Amino acid sequence: MIDTQILSGRVTDKIKESVSCEHSYSCNCIRTCNGKSCSTHCSTCYEHSNDYDYNIHSTIGTFTINRIDRQGNHEPPRFTLVKKEDAVAKTDTYINYIKGAKNSLFNMKDYSDSSLVRLPEYPLEIYDYYKINRTIVDGVTIPDKSSYDDMLSELLKKLGETKQVNVVLVFTNQDRLFAEKLKTKWLNGKKNDTVIVIGTKDYPNIEWVHVFGWSNNQMLNIALRDDLIEHKVITVTGMRDSLTKNLNMYYSRKPMSDFEYLKNNSEPSMVVLITAFILTMIFSIGFSYIAIKD
């Protein structure tokens, strides 16, 4: 039932910090003998009096930029590029009771029987220390895809802090059934997600919109969908404005404790199944032995 969500925030500071030297070696070794037995005793020495770490502090934790020399005397170019208020993201694990009891809430057979060829994986890849692409493109050309990713990062560096929300944007040239199948595959998204699926065969023209997620206020999904459809043509600016308005107005993160009741419906793990099988075999052999002995 362990799952992974994306947390978003912003850089608050960057510091070159003096830390204990990590490069130790044995030194001042002394060999002593006592009769026929000899042993060597060494001290631990360090190459430097200290090392330097290049740390990026943010609202969601600290990121350390790799050194470019052994001690860290020289500032890494990647560290130089960092500015306060830069957007950051990281993965975070949590207990997902829904994942453990997915057959109780979703028709997984309907998903597995899907005739759709393309159902993308959920975007979880962090790159360049703290960056992530939240926009997925399926079967359609989106020339400004990177602009959507940049916009989402900028938007979520504040809303991720105040609302604890994450946004995933999906463009597809498939029909509405795609969104329903994706919702099932992704189990309605992670606990802090708002997922927007836009159907477009001729970008930037909008054919349909489907929004899903676990917000306590489901009015978010309806209002955001209607707002985007009303635009008829999707733009980065229009998407940003719609998200800003509706997330601030309607989004409320649903605590996973609301689904704790599903613990009793959780499907047994493979470890549990194997353990049960082994115990059953032991008991069966034991009973058989007793029966034969009697």
So where are the chain's domains?
Answer: 11-86, 88-257
Report the pLDDT value the prediction gives residue 292, as an integer from 0 to 100. Answer: 42
Residue 161: exposure state from Cβ atoms within 10 A (0-12, 13-18, ≥19): middle
> For the residues 130-155, what does the mean pLDDT come to?
98
Report the pLDDT value the prediction gives residue 261, as an integer from 0 to 100. Answer: 78
Residue 36: pLDDT band (50, 70, 90) is confident
Tens-place pLDDT, residues 210-245: 999 999 999 999 999 999 999 999 999 999 999 999
Report the pLDDT value the prediction gives residue 6, as an integer from 0 to 100. Answer: 98
Give the helix/strand (H/E) hosting 166.
strand 166-172
Phi, psi at 151, each rounded to 5°: -65, -45
For tokens 């979880």, the residue is 124
Other Cβ atoms closer than 10 A to 64: 13
Q: How are beta strands 135-138 and 166-172 bridged, if at all?
A: parallel
pLDDT over 60 at 68, yes or no: yes
Tens-place pLDDT, residues 99-125: 877 665 655 555 555 555 589 999 999
Report the pLDDT value the prediction gives residue 98, as an integer from 0 to 100. Answer: 85
Residue 169: exposure state from Cβ atoms within 10 A (0-12, 13-18, ≥19): buried
Is the Cα dihedral 158, 150, 189, 130 positive or negative? negative
Q: 88-257 maps to which CATH number? A: 3.10.310.50
Report the pLDDT value the prediction gives residue 280, as an integer from 0 to 100. Answer: 56
Helix segments in the chain, DSSP class H: 77-81, 97-100, 102-105, 108-112, 145-162, 177-185, 219-231, 236-250, 270-293
Residue 25: pLDDT band (50, 70, 90) is very high
Tens-place pLDDT, residues 4-16: 999 999 999 999 9
Average pLDDT of every residue of the chain: 89
Other Cβ atoms closer than 10 A to 291: 8
